[in-house]
Amino acid sequence: MRLRLRTKRPTPWSDYRNNTRHRWAIPFVAIEWLCEWVAHFLSNWSFLDILDYVRSLGVIVVVVFYFYQSNDRVTVRHYQAWQVINTAQGKGGNGGRIEALEELNLDRVPLVGVDVSGAFLQGLHLEKGNLARSNLNAADVRDADLRSTDLRGSDLRSANFRGCHCVKVSFKGSALDGADFWGADLSGADLTDANLADADLRGADLLGIVWKHIKSLKMTNIANVRNPPEGFVSWALHEGAVQDDSDSQ
């Protein structure tokens, strides 16, 4: 609230006029004297104090309503993000889906069953996301950050995971047929019951992966894999994997 100072009662007009040396200045002095009276009247008018209190109260009410409606604003924002994702479903390109997915995940909204098949999602950040049973068939998620993301039971066939950060990602029961993990970091990833037939694992980091119950490695390219678990390479070759350094695959 603004501090309003009380002014003193102005001197009588006769004193003002007698102190004026020049007659031509009398009109200007009269205006000054009138202004002092107006200021004196307003400074002592209690109604202005009431207006100041009402204005301050209005600010408080606005702040209270802002926080009270914060949940509604979040709901609207989530609805708009889902609308972007669903509208672009089945289409190529980005279509604003990167921002929408990241915003929902940042608010810890489950993305279970999301369909972004064929989408261009390069550089996507979805750390610790819940994308179980999602559809990323033929999606381009190169250089994405998917650390500790749940992709159990998902359709990831022919998806491009090149250079992707897939540390501790759960691929349990997922379809990874033809997926490209060239140079990806799969450290600690869970590949239990995952189908990796025809997948490209060249140069991928396999440190600490859960691999003993992989469903299929038929024609999977494991050339130059980094940090493979003990016994993995020989087992994979026995299961039909190949080691081909060329780009002809």
Inter-residue contact 143 to 164 (CB < 8 Å): yes
pLDDT score of 48? 57
Within 8 A by CB and 6+ apart from 39, the residues are 7
Residue written as tokens 């004026």?
20
The answer to whether residue 201 scores a pLDDT higher than 60 is yes
- For the domain made up of 91-249, the CATH class stated in words is mainly beta
Name the band, by pLDDT with cuts 50, 70 and 90, for residue 213.
Answer: very high
Residue written as tokens 């019951």?
193
pLDDT score of 89? 83
pLDDT score of 247? 65
Q: Cα–Cα distance between 160 and 113 in angstroms, integer?
A: 19
pTM above 0.85, yes or no: no
* Domains of the chain, residue spans: 13-68, 91-249
Inter-residue contact 117 to 137 (CB < 8 Å): yes
CA distances for 35 relative to 2, 31, 174, angstroms: 21, 6, 83
Structure tokens at 53: 């209190």
Name the band, by pLDDT with cuts 50, 70 and 90, for residue 27.
Answer: confident
> For the segment 135-187, what is each residue's pLDDT rounded down to a tens digit?
999 999 999 999 999 999 999 999 999 999 999 999 999 999 999 999 999 99
Name the band, by pLDDT with cuts 50, 70 and 90, for residue 35.
Answer: confident
Alpha-carbon 146 to chain mean position: 14
